[in-house]
Amino acid sequence: MTKTKKTEEETDNSELTPYEAMDLVDENQIVNEIEGKILDEALVYSFLDKTTGKEITGLSWKGTKAVWWEFNKKKFTQMTVTDKVIVTQGDGFIDVAVYAYDELRKIGAWGMARGYTKQSTRSGQIDDRFASAKAMSKAQRNALNQLFPMELVAKMLKLFIKQGKMQKLTPQFVSQTRQQVTTVSTNRNYPTQKELMTKFKMDLAQVPPKCPNCGATMLLMQRKDGSGIFWSCSNWRTKGCKGYNVDDVEIDGAITMGKKTQLAQKKDIPF
């Protein structure tokens, strides 16, 4: 029997660690969220660790948020992602650190994540327009996961699995997801955040604000008529979150509403 030769992509996927595979699929969830796509995505990931032969499970980005909201709702915790944010720009990457705090238990934790500003494609290295947003969301995820009461998380994992909200991360699924992330993140139909900031003469040190309604990291979006930009929440479709003029946000990301405010209406959102 002739063995088929594995493609380079399949080989790369088979060598991913469980954390790397989960991280990649989380990126896909984050990008879908940014683009306002309403999808029934997994809350739990399952991955076979070939080195130990054990199946590893963990919360996805959506699962992390679901647990966060459920724990706060039931008064098990009172967790928030604070306004303590550290953003470091490097050569080809952006590092983001955020601080989450549980007011009920009086404990906090830093979460850190790195976003790479380039994606590898068959055409070479291409700018990743979602690099900073993905790093910010993953930093929030990492901070919150450190604060979760683990015995309660174990119960939530079992519940999500029972509800059929688990995705097995097979090499084929991870390969397909990698392609989706690369295609969407490098789609040149949309300008990058840096390009928008440069075009409209914003300070490149600007920290993205967090949505006051749901806590998601907001993104700069250009109005349909090209007349300007505003801060938009990725959850505007599902949670009715509002947008803010750039003048309403300080350089550190704080929404001060210091100047005349005009909320961005849904008709302005270019989806």
Give the model confidence (pLDDT) of 121-139 as tens digits: 666 777 887 888 899 999 9
How distant, in Å, are the alpha carbons of 48, 137, 194, 212, 236 from that of 215?
33, 10, 22, 6, 12
Return the structure tokens found at 88: 């470091």
Tell me the average pLDDT of the chain: 83
More confident residue, 223 or 43: 43
Q: What number is the average pLDDT over the span 194-218?
A: 86
User: 114: which residues sit within 8 A by CB, 6+ positions away?
Assistant: 93, 94, 95, 96, 135
Q: Compare 141 and 239 and report the one with higher pLDDT.
A: 141
Q: What is the mean pLDDT of residues 139-150?
A: 96
Res 26 pLDDT > 80:
yes
* Higher-scoring residue by pLDDT: 71, 122: 71
pLDDT at 209 over 60: yes
pLDDT beyond 50 at 10:
no
Percent of the chain with pLDDT over 90: 41
pLDDT for residue 194? 80
Q: Report whether pLDDT(269) > 50.
A: no
The answer to whether residue 86 scores a pLDDT higher than 80 is yes
Between CA 34 and CA 176 the distance in angstroms is 19
Q: At residue 183, does pLDDT exceed 80?
A: no
Q: How confident is the model at residue 155 (pLDDT cuts 50, 70, 90)?
A: very high
* CB distance 216 to 239 below 8 Å: no
Residue 190 is predicted with a pLDDT of 62
Q: If residue 168 lies in a helix (H) or strand (E), which one and from where to where? A: strand 166-168
Q: How many helices (DSSP H) and strands (DSSP E) are in the chain? A: 8, 11
Whole-number pLDDT of residue 130: 86
Average pLDDT over residues 1-25: 60
